[in-house]
Amino acid sequence: MINIILITFYLELIKIIYLQKNNLMKKTIAVSLVVLGAVFANAQQKKDTVKREVKIDEVELFGEKNKQPEGLEVITRLPLKPRDQIQSISTISYKVIEGLGGLTVTDVAKNIPGVTQFGSYGGTRESMSIRGYRGVPVLKNGVMMDSDFRTAAMLTDMQGVESIQVIKGSAAVTQGIGDGLGSAGGVINVVTKVPKFINQTNVGFRYGSWDFYRPTVDFQRVLDSNGKVAVRFNAAYQDNNSFRKYVKTDRIYVNPSVAFRPDDKTEIVVEMDYMHNDTTPDRGTVNLSTGDVNALYEMPKGKFLGFSSDNAETETFNFSTTATRKLTDKLKLRAAYMNSSYDFTNVGASLGAGNAATNYAVRARSLAKSAREDKNQVLQLDLIGAEVNTGFLKHTFQVGFDWKQTDVTTTSYQSKSVDQINVLQDISNALPTSIDGGNFSLAASNPIVNTLSSTVGLMAQDVITVNKYVKAHLGVRYSKLNGVSKDLAHDAWNPSLGLLISPLENINVFGSYTTTTGLRSANNPLDGGGTVGPSKTTQWEAGIKSDWLGERLRFNVTVFDIKTDNLSYSVLNTAGNATGYYGLAGDLSRKGVEVELIGRILPNLQVMTGWAYVDAQYQDSPAFVNGSAPINTPKNTANGWLNYKFNQGFLNGLDVGAGIYYVGTRPVDDYKQTYTNATGGHVNGTQPGEKPFLMPDYTTVDAQVGYQFKKGLGLRVFFNNIFDEVGYSSYFRGGYIDQIQPRNFAVQVNYKF
């Protein structure tokens, strides 16, 4: 009976949360959710007549040893460990997320070499960069959360995250055409938590700087005596202010899931997650000069350039069903359906560019509104074989089909001029009573735009084991982008070829060739007539993947050479607005190296360290200066983190950790040539002929101290940016120069039972 009550309660609670818009009600529900979740879970534990002792394999920083990380098959489509995959793959497990106290994708992904944050868009989004490609696709359980080609809208809560997985470089065989700017750079997959068929509850509370409050709950239960049905429920509520005056966040997050194992050959997992996030967008500071001179205004921490009423509302709802059926010991069928919906509304201040007459301190301030509704669906069908023999050859293969659909509606509104401010003086953050911040007129031109597109793909992969020393990887994919008419439909073939040589059992030396075809801009009209056509990325990659110390420690080195041709850009008028026409931008070359060490170098000593170097240059471009680097591309990034756990004497239960993170200098904008069809460029960016200045590099140092008491009680303290380093995450031409979090602390209490 308690199980029925529990399930019914949470289903109804989710329904209420999803439909409810009132902030007070959301807060009430959030607090009740955490408290009642713990009560129900505890009641279930006490009354449970099923006593199950489940041994869980030790989880390393990258996941369970000797196993493929959970959820990785959604993006690789092959049942292989990362060491045996032809792609460069990194995984960060929930163990790291908990130990670091990570609250965002950026907090976690910065521990992967070559992964940086492109921009936060005022703290409302997370746009990530890999190998110098901005806006790489960020997926949740294999489905893109946001079909914006910049992937600028990704926002998630770490409470429901099992791991963060990164495929660096082309993943076209499994992910399809490169619809976005960063598709050829890689893909980030956020894997959510699902039942592990154990009885366990974890209740937590976090308090930190600037009135940060965050209660959480994670419980899972086996519902029947035969161990065939299990549930899991994660939830979090977050309420916090900021080092900026008037900047605050209010969030509620829920993540329920159910797993069925009707027999030993079948498993079905159904899950969803929902998040409602209200935050104040913060454009940060300004540059008190033109874009070719570094004159960044180091604004006082409490100062805010917007209005106190500014608000960005994000609502996401994700649902997935995955079914796996073993046909034989070596063959299985996998089917997955994933659905996401994303609604974003932003009402906030916008600043003008400034001019030399006022030393760029005086800025026109206006109030702007934008809205976006984004719906995405993915269907995957796979036949998977593991170690199937054909004579002296052994095959691990996948043959599959997928269908993807995006339905996007954007709404543009006319902005409202408000006032002028001097950023160096005191600023009023109150919106004048003469300005109605609740009502906006639609934009004069194309205010509402709806785009519906779908792609289908057929793919096959085969990892052929010749002997214990040699493996060959062969893959091919056919993709078709369905347009609104036959004339707008495009298709593409993308191969993947690779060779793995294993001189030792734990070492793989690999080389690969892959391609990615970009069709998003293929139908865009050129300013001089005709259309842009597809762009194509070719990638050569080689390196070493290795496991050491009983697969507790991984060391990887990768070198790459990537070239993207037939780039294009949107032609702007002198006001910085799009004309609807495009120009060719030539080619972009990227060469680099990545080094990664992750795992345990001693039984009690964990390490995550890495370094990435990328040399990105425009080539043969009529739009950009040849040899210049694209916007926000640092040549060097590095990370290092150590954690030591004491297990003897009076220090037993104590662990201490420290991390250091470096982001190198990077151009604040593209270095544009003087071209006649877009003389104005972006209003907030550099003008043609101006060499963009380099955003300063920065290094941050974090530390953590934890103590695990007996009977499941744990305490952890986080110290972030200990030396109060000033660094910036900038989308300069978008008007965002966001300061990283200054020195702050947090304390987390957890009770596991």
Query: What is the DSSP annotation of 654-678?
Result: EEEEEEEEEE--EESS--B---GGG
Q: Which positions ≥6 away from 292 have C-beta within 8 Å? A: 686, 690, 691, 692, 693
Residue 16 is classified by DSSP as H
Calculate helix-pair angle for 23-47, 2-19, nearest 10 degrees. 170
143-180 core/surface letters (b: 16 or more CB in 10 A; e: else): bbbbbbbbbbbbbbbbbbbbbbbbbbbbbbbbbbbbbb
At residue 555, the 3 state secondary structure works out as strand
280 phi-psi bin (left φ>0, alpha ψ -120 to 50, beta other)? beta
Q: Can you tell me the distance from the alpha carbon of 198 to that of 219, in angstroms, rounded to the nearest whole number? A: 9
- Say whether 175 sits in a helix, a strand or coil: helix
* 22 CB burial (10 A radius; 0-12, 13-18, 19+): exposed
- Cβ-based burial of 254 (10 A; exposed 0-12, middle 13-18, buried ≥19): buried
pLDDT given at position 76: 86
For the question of whether the overall pTM of this predicted structure is more than 0.75, the answer is yes
Give which of 751, 750, 753 is closest to 207, Cα–Cα: 750
Residues 6+ away with beta carbon under 8 Å from 427: 303, 304, 305, 421
Helices first, then strands: H and E counts in the chain: 6, 37
Please report, for residues 74, 112, 123, 444, the alpha-carbon distance to residue 189 in angstroms, rounded to integers and kept in the order given. 9, 13, 21, 38
**Cβ-contact 382, 333 below 8 angstroms:** yes
**Which residue's structure tokens are 């293969």?**
397
**Running along the chain, 753 residues long, what does each successive block of 10 average in pLDDT?**
45 46 45 46 44 48 77 84 87 90 91 90 86 82 68 76 88 64 76 93 96 96 94 97 95 96 95 94 93 94 94 92 94 92 93 90 94 90 94 94 89 94 95 92 89 88 94 92 64 91 93 85 79 86 93 94 84 67 84 95 94 93 88 95 92 94 95 60 76 96 94 94 94 90 96 93
